[in-house]
Amino acid sequence: MAVCGWKRIVLKVGSALIAPNAAGCSTRYLLSIARFIAECRAAGTEVVLVSSGSVAAGRNAISYKQLPLPINVKQAMAAVGQSRMMASWAQLFDFDCAQILLTHDDLKDRRRYLNIDNTLRTLLANQVLPIVNENDTVATAELKVGDNDNLAAMVAILADADALLICSDIDGLYTANPRTVPDAALVPQVTQITPQIYAMAGGSHHAIGTGGMQTKIQAADKATRAGIDTLIINGQKAATFDELLANRQCGTLFHKQQERVSAKKHWLRHSLKPRGQLVIDEGAGQALLSRGASLLPSGITAINGDFEKGDAVLVQSTTGQTLAQGISQYSSPELNKIRGVHSQQIANILGYCPSEVAIHRDDLVLFRD
55 binds ligand GLU (CB under 6 A): yes
**71 or 181: whose CB is closer to ligand GLU?**
71
Size, binding site for ligand GLU by CB under 6 A: 15
148 binds ligand GLU (CB under 6 A): yes
Strand partners, 366: 324
54 binds ligand GLU (CB under 6 A): yes
Q: Does 136 show up as a binding residue in the annotation?
A: yes
Tell me the closest approach of the beta carbon of residue 56 to ligand GLU, in angstroms.
6
Region from 23-31, 204-212, 271-279, 317-325 binding ligand GLU, contact rule CB under 6 A = 204-212
Separation CA 249–CA 233 (nearest Å): 10
Separation CA 56–CA 69 (nearest Å): 12
Helix (H) or strand (E) holding 9: strand 8-13
Residues 346-367 as b/e (b if ≥16 CB within 10 A, e otherwise) read beeeeeebbbebbbbbebbbbe
Tell me the closest approach of the beta carbon of residue 159 to ligand GLU, in angstroms.
18
Separation CA 142–CA 22 (nearest Å): 25
Separation CA 188–CA 1 (nearest Å): 24
**Sole binder of ligand GLU in the list 22, 30, 36, 52 (CB under 6 A):** 52
**Sole binder of ligand GLU in the list 103, 133, 298, 328 (CB under 6 A):** 133
Amino acid, res. 362: D
Q: Does 203 show up as a binding residue in the annotation?
A: no
**Sole binder of ligand GLU in the list 117, 147, 160, 363 (CB under 6 A):** 147
Residues 124-143 as b/e (b if ≥16 CB within 10 A, e otherwise) read beeeebbbbbbbbbebeeee
**15 or 355: whose CB is closer to ligand GLU?**
15
**Sole binder of ligand GLU in the list 3, 10, 25, 53 (CB under 6 A):** 53
Residues that bind ligand GLU (CB under 6 A): 14-15, 52-56, 133-134, 136, 147-148, 209-211
